[in-house]
Structure formats: C-alpha cells, structure tokens
Structure 1
Amino acid sequence: MTDLITAILLAAYLVLCTWMLHKVRLIHLLVHQLRDQADSSPAVLFRQLEALDGLQRELRLEHSLPPTRGWAGSPDFLLTLARHARLAQPQVVVECSSGASTVVLARCMQLQGAGQVYSLEHDAAYAAQTRAELARHGLSAWAQVIDAPLRAHRLQGETWPWYDTDHLPAGLEIGMLVIDGPPQATGKLARYPAGPLLFPRLAPGAAVFLDDAARPDEQAILRRWRSELPQLRQSLLSCEKGCARLVKDSMPEEILAQSRQPHPTLAPLH
C-alpha cells in the first residue's frame, strides 16, 4: 500500500513538474516575442512615416490624410495602391470599405484626369466622414461613397453578411478592386464574398488588392479564391499588415516590374 501511494505521489510530482516546465517555456517565448516587437517597433514606425511622406509627395496633397493607424489602411498599403493606380490608370475603381484609401484613389483619378472611385461602406457615420474628407481635399467629383449596409448573400450553399451591391452602377467593368472590409468582427472569412460577387465584374488585366493578408482569415480566403478562381494570379506584396495582389489575365509587364521593385517603406513578407 505504501509503495502504491509513493508511486502515485511520484507520478503527480512528475506531472506537476512537466506542467511547470511547459508554463516556463511559454513565458520564455512570450518574453522573447515582446522583446522582438519592442526592438522592431521603431523601425516599423519609421517605415510607415517614410511611406506617409512619400504618399504626400507623390500625390501632392495640400491637406493631411485621415488617420492611418488602427483599422485604417497603413501608409505602405496606401502607397502601394497609389503607385498601381498611377501606373495602370484604371477608369473604374471599386473599394470594399471607405476611408483614407478613398481619398488617395480619388486623388489618383484627379491627377490622371479621368476615372471614378466607388466605395461601398456599411457604416453610415463612417461614410459621412469619408465624404467630408473628400470634400476637404476637393475630390468629391472623383469618388462616390455608397451606403451599402450588410445583407445576407447566399453563396456556395452558405449565407454571408456582406455589402449590398444594388447601388453599384450596372455594367461596371472594374479596373482596380480594393478589399479592406467588412471588419473581421462581422463574421468568419468576412471578406470572402468579394470574390464571387465582384470578381466576375473585373475588366481584363484588372488588379485586386486585399489588405490584412497576413491574418489567418485572409490566408484562408486566398486559398479558397485560388481554388474557386484559379484564373486570378496571386502574389504577396510586403506591407505592414500583409497585402495580396490578384491579377486577372495579363497585366502590362512594366506595371508588374514596378510592383516587384524593392521599396524602403515595405516590411518583410509574412
């Protein structure tokens, strides 16, 4: 009996030691992660400041952009959009969500002297803020913020809450599509419906840009799109939050080459 109790106590002690070692290892990993984040934060912030300065200079903006932290598009993502728009000169740009990117893309349309941005926004208050920003920059004629509340869409046998697209002009051929919404909190794989609902409207050579591409949900969305829409070529661009570019058919080589050039404001690929 005494041997049995001793064996049980020894086993319990070993289990406790194993559990404590596991916790110590987790703490060790967390400390290293926090240290790495602290070490890299100044460099990341500097790269974003560089991108913001580059954006202001390239677009010759007279007023400051809306905030580019938190949920908003990061400066390096916005600069990627601006450079593509300036090179490809799409006539129709559609955005999923509005904000600083709407101002940036509307300015690109103004500089090229043609084109229109259509921005789907489910939050009425945020839509009003974006319209006010467009007016402040004198860009109201180049972008239309569409009130597009989330509604149920039946896709692939599932129901998805996504933007109401009824107010997008009929027959649009989208030359550039930017997907930065709806927010992840609206549901799992929240941005997936953009594929089946908007990709059929893409013009030949159109480009799609997906923000936050480093997140697990966006990675899963890209895999699903790759399976369902293999004709769109996918590539990852180095941005703070991750950026995926999808291209329909052929895109002029000079535009692809420009996108591949290293940029000092871009973070390493995730």
Structure 2
Amino acid sequence: MPVIINTVILLLLLYSLHKLRKAHLLLFDMRDQSRQDNVSLFRQLEALQGLYAELDLKTSLPPTRGWAASPDFLLELVRHARAARPQTVVECSSGASTLVLARCMQLNGSGKVLSLEHDPHYAEQTRMQLKHHGLQQWAEVLDAPLLPQQLTGGDWSWYSLGHLPPAQAIDMLVIDGPPQATGALARYPAGPLLFPLLAAQAHIFLDDAARSDELAILQHWRQEFPALQQSDRACEKGCAVLVNAL
C-alpha cells in the first residue's frame, strides 16, 4: 500500500512540474511577444513622426492602424515620391496613402495621384480629407467598382479602369487593394491590367507583402513579367518593391 501511495504522489508531483514548466514557457512567450509588440509600436511611431517631419504636415493624418497602410509603408512611398518625382502615380485603394502622395506632388510642384476606389463611402471620405488638407488639385479619387475580369488562370473581381486616363504612362504604382476578402489572390490583376502601362523604371509598391496570398501573387508576377526587378523593405506588414527594368 505505501508503494502505491508513493507512486501516486510521485505522479502528481511530475504532473505538477509539467504544468509549471508549461506555465513558465507561456510566460516567456508572452514576454517575448510583448517585447516584439513594443519594438513594432516604436518603429511605427518613429515612421509616423518621420512622415510629419518630411511632409511638414500641419493637420493630422487619418488613422494608420488596422486595414489602413502602416506608417512605415507610407514613409517608403514618401521617400520614393520625393526623390523620383513621378508625374503619374496610380494607386489601388484610397486613404492615407492618397493624402501623403498628394502632399509629395505638392511639395515637388508637379505630378498627379490617381486613386482607384471601389467603395463610394471610402472614396468620398478620401475626397473630403484631400479638401481638408488643401490637396484636391494634386490627387483624384476615381470611382472604380469591382467588376468581373477574365484573365489567364481564372476569373477575378477587380477595379474598373474606365475612368483611368488612356495612354498615360504610370511612373509609380501603389497596390493596397482590393481587400483580401474579395477573393483569393485579389491583387493579382494589377499585373496583367496595369503593368503594361508602366513607364520605364517605374516603381511598384505592394503592401501586405508578407501575407501568403501576396507571396503567391509575387511569384506569378515574376514568372509573367521577368523584366521586373524585386526587392523587399522591412515594413511590419511586408513591402515588396518591383522596378520596371525595360
């Protein structure tokens, strides 16, 4: 009998030690995650401060959390637009990126942002923000409802390009839409539909490039457009930059 009791006590002790070890590991994981979150938050605050400094903004930007483009991605756009001075900027989806790019055009003294937006509510919000910042002459939000598109490899729901000016070479393309919820590989059509309109040495910025869908899209684009040169930027959601080397 004592042997059985001792065995039971030993098993209980081993089980308690096992649970205690799991609790310690969980605490360590939580500590590491907390540190990573703090580092990420600090980087975004630094990038946001950089945006206000480089653009000399007097009025606050709309929120840059959640679905919106993150400050570090916006800062990448600003630095390129200020250095390269693109004349025609096209972006898929509107929002804070529209404002900062329009401000770049204003500071550069030339250029225009054309923003494709499928949601009328968001389109009107962006127009109001542009007016609020006095940037309406430097950017135009184009109503571009999502329409069925038949492309090689399948069917997609993607922006109507009816309001996009024809025969206008794109110097800078920003892809931050449509939302992932609209379908698998939702941003793939930007390749076959917009890449042929790129000017020589045009730059493409793909947001959320760390997601599995975007990684698959980039692989398709590399196969279909081998002249594009790709690099990656260390943004929290991932940022891929492709350059039209033709």
TM-score (norm 1): 0.80
Is residue 215 of structure 1 aligned with residue 215 of structure 2? no
Among 162, 185, 189, which residue is 1:193 paired with?
Answer: 189
1:71 to 67, 74, 83: 67
Q: Quote the residue 1:147 is aligned against.
A: 143
**Paired residue type of 1:74:** S
**2: CA distance between counterparts of 1:236 and 1:167?**
31
Q: CA 1:32–1:208 in 2, change beyond 3 Å: closer, same or farther?
A: farther
**2:57 is equivalent to residue 46 of structure 1:** no
Alignment-mate amino acid for residue 169 of structure 2 = E
Within 5 A, what are the aligned runs for 1:155-166?
155-166=151-162
Is 1:235 paired with 2:219?
Answer: no
1:37 is displaced (CA, Å) by 2.1
Cα distance 1:164–1:34, how it changes in 2: closer, same or farther (>3 A)?
farther
Give 1:38 shift.
1.6
> How many Å apart are 1:86 and its aligned residue?
0.3
In the superposition, the TM-score normalised over structure 2's length comes to: 0.88
Aligned length: 227
Displacement after TM superposition at 1:31 (Å): 6.7
User: Which stretches in structure 1 are left out of the alignment for 5+ residues?
Assistant: 1-20, 251-270
1:90 aligns with 2:107: no
What percent identity do the matched residue pairs reach? 65
Q: Output the amino acid matched with 1:210.
A: L
1:110 aligns with 2:106: yes
Code of the residue aligned with 1:247 in structure 2: it is V
TM-aligned CA distance change 1:152 to 1:46, over 3 Å = same
State the distance in 2 between where 1:47 and 1:170 align.
40
Whichever residue aligns with residue 108 of structure 1, its letter is C
Letter in 1 for 2:45: L
Partner residue in 2 for 1:13: none
Is it true that 1:121 corresponds to 2:117 in the alignment?
Answer: yes
1:165 match: secondary structure: coil
Distance 2:201 2:100 in 1: 21
- Tell me which amino acid in the other structure corresponds to 1:132: M
| Structure-1 residue corresponding to 2:95 | 99
One-letter amino acid of the counterpart of residue 147, structure 1: D
What's the offset of the Cα at 1:36? Answer: 2.8
Instruction: Compute the RMSD of aligned alpha carbons.
Output: 1.9
Q: 1:80 aligns with which of 60, 76, 82?
A: 76
Q: Which amino acid in the other structure matches residue 111 of structure 2?
A: G
Aligned to 1:258: none
Equivalent residue number for residue 174 of structure 2: 178
Moved more, 94-103 or 38-47: 38-47
Listed one character per residue, the Cα deviations across residues 40-72 of structure 1 (whole Å, up to 9, x for unaligned) are 111111110111011001000110101000000
Q: Distance in 1 between matches of 2:174 and 2:146?
A: 17
SS in 2 for 1:191: coil
CA displacement 1:14-36 (0-9 Å, x = unmatched): xxxxxxx9xxxx99987765443
Counterparts of 2:29 and 2:135 in 1: how far apart (Å)?
A: 43
